[in-house]
Amino acid sequence: MKNKFVLVFFSIILIIAIFIVLWNIKENRFYNRPFIKYKYPETIKVHNGTNFSKADTIILTLANQIFKIDTAEIFIYYVPEHLNSESMQFYGIVQQSEFDNKKFIIFVNKKLSTKDLLETLSHEFVHIDQYDRGDLKIIGNYFIWKGDTVDMRDVKYEYRPFEKEAFSKQSYITKKLVKLLYN
């Protein structure tokens, strides 16, 4: 009886493992397909300082096709190593230039898969939209959200209103982005 249970248990584990492997193969094939090409305005410039060769097209598509931005200069780099630790890993960070409100720097984690890169950039573009609308401004340890100034140290990351909005919209934007790039 005990041997039969062990055999059934390991059979179930094997079936689950095979399913996970096949699912990952299917997903990797999907996300490694070439993108659909669009014509982007020359007034949107992307400077890619990462090895993510698809980042340029993802950013251009988010800016022009989804957020209807026609003028911007966006730099993308890896999150500086000293910001990541065992307890906290940044997927992405975006900053607006203090001197030019149409210039942005996006930092992404170098360990992202294509799928995670799509989602992370979708999230960061919600912040770019917030900056562009004038709803968000970050100055040092303070954020100004729709006219109210708040010390970031007083509000946990997940409770900050601009993060709540970004998390609530990122899945929808990612789905829209995937449709535009792959279908």
Element (H, E) at 129: helix 114-133
Q: How confident is the model at residue 42 (pLDDT cuts 50, 70, 90)?
A: very high
Confirm whether 38 is domain-assigned: no
Element (H, E) at 177: helix 161-182
Please indicate, yes or no, whether residues 141 and 74 belong to a single structural domain of this protein.
Answer: yes
Q: What local confidence, expressed as pLDDT, does residue 26 receive?
A: 62
Please indicate, yes or no, whether residues 95 and 176 belong to a single structural domain of this protein.
Answer: yes
Confirm whether 39 is domain-assigned: no
Please indicate, yes or no, whether residues 111 and 169 belong to a single structural domain of this protein.
Answer: yes
Please indicate, yes or no, whether residues 69 and 139 belong to a single structural domain of this protein.
Answer: yes
Q: What does the mean pLDDT of the chain come to?
A: 90
Range(s) of the domain holding residue 122: 44-182
Contact yes or no for 47/34 (Cβ under 8 A): no
Q: What local confidence, expressed as pLDDT, does residue 166 receive?
A: 97
Beta carbons within 8 Å of 159's beta carbon, 6+ residues apart: none
Reply yes or no on whether the pLDDT at 24 is more than 70.
Answer: no
Q: What local confidence, expressed as pLDDT, does residue 104 receive?
A: 98
Q: How confident is the model at residue 22 (pLDDT cuts 50, 70, 90)?
A: low
- Residue 34 CA to residue 57 CA, distance in Å, equals 11
Please indicate, yes or no, whether residues 85 and 6 belong to a single structural domain of this protein.
Answer: no
Reply yes or no on whether the pLDDT at 72 is more than 90.
Answer: yes
Domain count, the chain: 2
Please indicate, yes or no, whether residues 102 and 63 belong to a single structural domain of this protein.
Answer: yes
For 82, the token pair is: 């000293």
Query: Tell me, what CATH number does 107's domain have?
Result: 3.40.390
Please indicate, yes or no, whether residues 13 and 51 belong to a single structural domain of this protein.
Answer: no
Q: What local confidence, expressed as pLDDT, does residue 92 receive?
A: 95
Reply yes or no on whether the pLDDT at 56 is more than 70.
Answer: yes
Give tens-digit pLDDT for 76-104: 999 998 888 877 788 999 999 999 999 99
Please indicate, yes or no, whether residues 114 and 152 belong to a single structural domain of this protein.
Answer: yes
Confirm whether 75 is domain-assigned: yes
Give tens-digit pLDDT for 157-183: 999 999 999 999 999 999 999 999 988
Please indicate, yes or no, whether residues 54 and 121 belong to a single structural domain of this protein.
Answer: yes
Q: What local confidence, expressed as pLDDT, does residue 36 receive?
A: 85
Cα dist. 60→43, 99, 100, 116 in Å?
A: 11, 22, 19, 17
Which one-letter amino acid corresponds to residue 77? Y
Please indicate, yes or no, whether residues 64 and 126 belong to a single structural domain of this protein.
Answer: yes
Q: What local confidence, expressed as pLDDT, does residue 13 receive?
A: 83
Give tens-digit pLDDT for 98-145: 999 999 999 999 999 999 999 999 999 999 999 999 999 999 999 999
Please indicate, yes or no, whether residues 70 and 141 belong to a single structural domain of this protein.
Answer: yes
HSE of 114, CA atoms in CB hemisphere, 13 A: 19
Contact yes or no for 74/136 (Cβ under 8 A): no
How many CB atoms neighbour CB 50 within 10 A?
Answer: 16
Please indicate, yes or no, whether residues 97 and 140 belong to a single structural domain of this protein.
Answer: yes
Confirm whether 3 is domain-assigned: yes
Note the pTM of the prediction, 2 decimals. Answer: 0.84
Confirm whether 135 is domain-assigned: yes
Confirm whether 134 is domain-assigned: yes
